[in-house]
Structure 1
Amino acid sequence: MTAAPSAVAGLRWRPITAGDVPEWHRLVQAIEAVDDPAERYTEEDLHDELLDGSWKDPARDSTLGVDDDGVPRAFGHVQVLPGDVRTIRAFCWGGVHPRWRGRGIGRELLSWQERLGREKIAAAGSTGPGRVLVHVDDGLAATQRLLDRAGFRRLRVYLELTRPLDDDVAPAPLREGLRLVPYEPALSERMRLAHNEAFADHWGSEPRDRENWERQSVGGRYFRPGWSFAVLDGEDVVGYSLTSAYEQDWAAQGYSAGWTDLLGVRRPWRREGVASALLAATMRALQADGIERADLGVDVENPNRALDLYTALGYRESRRSFAYGKDV
């Protein structure tokens, strides 16, 4: 097991437990109040990050830095998702209370995350390469400098896009033989397989196994079946969109929104208006429920020119973030 971070700034380190979630959440809220991230966490989210999934082991994968009074002041978490085959990815997430920054805690925490990430990648037993990854919101210059000094490289730029829903959205036509249908659980497995095929040519994407898909996509608490759709050719799922309601983010962003988590079209059916039809259906469903905007994210270097499509449909950039990585 990877050794805990060194004792810096008077913090003692131990794994995060389920009983820590309320105080851990208060720490995360203090960090969010200063850093203004795109994504806000509830206590339930933190519980799931720690425990929801057979691949998770908080005693191994997490660390919590507490002060002399036992109050959490910093945390770290490392996760390798099941199903990675092309590149084994170790996702690192963590933070330091704003009043405890500038004492070397972040540097020590990142070092611990990299060591654990390397161990988890090696333990995966794959012959493929490994990569330790950290996601950083734009504007967090100190975090970006920390990553630069630690030898991480900026690998990707991601945009968050928003589209106001104060005008009429017309349905987008599909060619004969294709039909748009609302999500239903009977489509879930076919959609998972379609997703794995559609994203096989996307940077940083790996196949989703059934447990991960059912827990974190169509089974997640934020998933909204009524805002999600598939396009069928016969009984084949050729395109799909999954949209969620992250209501805890609405106050900070100043509007209600449906966030399209996943949108994909299998290669033989691209350039046939499938993605446009899915997004139009999503926007119309959001409008019907009184939601103010449709939001989604995109890799600037998406090989299928997704950004051009979204821009043509009225989406505009609202924020950006970066993927930093180190190949191991």
Structure 2
Amino acid sequence: MPELSPIAERAAAPAVLPVITAGGLRWRPATIDDAPLVNALNNAMAAADEAPYRETEEETREELGATWRDLEHDSLLGFDDDGVLRASALVIAFPGDTTTVRAIAFGGVHPERRGEGIGREVFAWQVARARQILAASGKDLPGRIAAYAEDDDPQSRHRMYLHAGFEPRRYFSDLKRPLTGDAPPIPEVALTGSLRLVPFSEEVDDATRLAHNDAFRDHWGSEPQTIEQWQNGRSEFAAEWSFVVVDDAPDVAALLADEATDASTRAALEAGDPLVVAYSLNSRFTADFEVRGYTFGYTDLLGTRRAYRGRKAAVAALAASMRAFADSGMDAAVLDVDTENPSGAHGLYASLGYTMEHGSRMYSIEL
């Protein structure tokens, strides 16, 4: 990595945030009690943009209520003269970032108030606030200000990001695998040695977090998750659809001798904790069923520890998840993947019958 100047210099944070004047809205920070209003706004925007998802009020509440969230400084809500929420802005940072410190912009403008310049001013505020967050992080790492868009979003959103100096940096594919009708059979995957497939449970929760942090260390844009991050946002999580693979007799000495074994995993091995080597964690997004026109189980996270790649552990976990979806009467299995995933995930998913339904992209400014 080239030597970087301090993040406080690179972020070029403004001393004062820009004032949003377009649309004549009244602005204030969000609170957790605003979850119903923000949820209604988010879903109105998603419906207008024909996005393939909707959000439950509990999901919104979890997003606003994350323990590390600073709503007073990192959010704004814009109300019209009748007290109706018409626009929102939220900038999210992550306490676990260790290789790239990130600030991500979320929000938007109600469809009935678009075209008044509100969105551009809101985004300018978000970018300025993101620069302040990065500058104050004290983490002299590469920095990233990011925003996401569906490929089918209004072109005005894509143009706004480009005009603000953002570049499309990463592309994602939303994949679907039918489970009914003439869908191919779900594969039977035999595990070898001391590997064992088990249902997800609280007993393996943190061991799964450590496995995930290891599995994604070589994935672009991924950062280690703290316990607080890991356990946030589980309102739609379906533990009964989720599975992990454990190694009942790991070669502890070899893993401890491996320089690639991270400090947290070392501590867990020395303590004799379970070693999760692969996982498939899934959610039930019932609010999306009507929008998509079918029921499905969604795989949020799938991965394998780097030392265990090539042993089909993650495939076994995913196959068990698909079987659980089917047993629950779901029509399909769905997941999202980075198009440049370094582990060959696209080929794996294609071999299992997944095909692309939607696309999205991440825009960013890299500092």
TM-score (norm 2): 0.85
- SS of the counterpart of 1:95? strand
Q: Is the 8 A contact 1:65 1:75 kept in 2?
A: yes
> For 1:47-86, what aligned pairs fall within 5 Å after superposition?
47-51=61-65, 53-86=66-99
Question: What whole-Å deviation, never above 9, does each CA across 1:31-79 have from its counterpart, x for those lacking one?
Answer: 122112233112222222112x221121111111111222111111001
Of the structure 1 ranges 125-134 and 227-236, higher mean CA displacement relative to structure 2 is found in 227-236
CA offset at residue 227 of structure 1?
A: 0.9
Of the structure 1 ranges 166-175 and 224-233, higher mean CA displacement relative to structure 2 is found in 166-175
CA offset at residue 254 of structure 1?
A: 0.7
Per the alignment, do residues 169 and 111 of structure 1 end up closer, same or farther by CA in structure 2, a change over 3 Å counting? same
Q: Is the 8 A contact 1:4 1:63 kept in 2?
A: no
Question: What whole-Å deviation, never above 9, does each CA across 1:97-123 have from its counterpart, x for those lacking one?
Answer: 112111111111111011111111111
CA offset at residue 320 of structure 1?
A: 0.5
TM-score (norm 1): 0.95
Which residue matches 2:280?
241
1:288 maps to which of 292, 315, 327: 327
Question: What whole-Å deviation, never above 9, does each CA across 1:292-319 have from its counterpart, x for those lacking one?
Answer: 1111010000011100000000001010
Percent of aligned pairs with the same amino acid: 43
Q: Is the 8 A contact 2:169 2:363 kept in 1?
A: yes
Question: What whole-Å deviation, never above 9, does each CA across 1:165-217 have from its counterpart, x for those lacking one?
Answer: 1143232122232211111111011111111011000010000001111223x
- Alpha-carbon distance between aligned partners in 1 of 2:33 and 2:67, rounded to the nearest angstrom: 19
- Alpha-carbon distance between aligned partners in 1 of 2:139 and 2:106, rounded to the nearest angstrom: 23
User: Runs of 4+ in structure 1 displaced over 6 angstroms?
Assistant: none
CA offset at residue 21 of structure 1?
A: 2.9
Which residue matches 2:365?
326
- Alpha-carbon distance between aligned partners in 2 of 1:19 and 1:2, rounded to the nearest angstrom: 27
- Alpha-carbon distance between aligned partners in 2 of 1:252 and 1:2, rounded to the nearest angstrom: 41
- Alpha-carbon distance between aligned partners in 2 of 1:22 and 1:83, rounded to the nearest angstrom: 28
CA offset at residue 25 of structure 1?
A: 2.7
- Alpha-carbon distance between aligned partners in 2 of 1:184 and 1:25, rounded to the nearest angstrom: 30
Task: Tell me, yes or no, if structure 1 residue 198 matches structure 2 residue 237.
Answer: no
Of the structure 1 ranges 78-87 and 13-22, higher mean CA displacement relative to structure 2 is found in 13-22
Structure 2 unmatched runs, 5+ = 1-14, 249-273
2:315 maps to which of 276, 279, 284: 276
Task: Tell me, yes or no, if structure 1 residue 96 matches structure 2 residue 109.
Answer: yes
Amino acid at match of 1:206: E
Per the alignment, do residues 151 and 236 of structure 1 end up closer, same or farther by CA in structure 2, a change over 3 Å counting? same
Q: Is the 8 A contact 2:173 2:360 kept in 1?
A: yes
Amino acid at match of 2:68: W
Task: Tell me, yes or no, if structure 1 residue 159 matches structure 2 residue 173.
Answer: yes
Name which one, 1 or 2, has greater alpha-carbon Rg: 2
- Alpha-carbon distance between aligned partners in 2 of 1:18 and 1:229, rounded to the nearest angstrom: 32
RMSD value, Cα = 1.5
Amino acid at match of 2:113: W
- Alpha-carbon distance between aligned partners in 2 of 1:207 and 1:129, rounded to the nearest angstrom: 15
Structure 1 unmatched runs, 5+ = none
Amino acid at match of 1:144: H
CA offset at residue 279 of structure 1?
A: 1.2
Q: How many residues align?
A: 324
Of the structure 1 ranges 33-42 and 203-212, higher mean CA displacement relative to structure 2 is found in 33-42
2:352 maps to which of 298, 310, 313: 313
- Alpha-carbon distance between aligned partners in 2 of 1:84 and 1:135, rounded to the nearest angstrom: 19
Which residue matches 2:156?
142
- SS of the counterpart of 2:22? coil
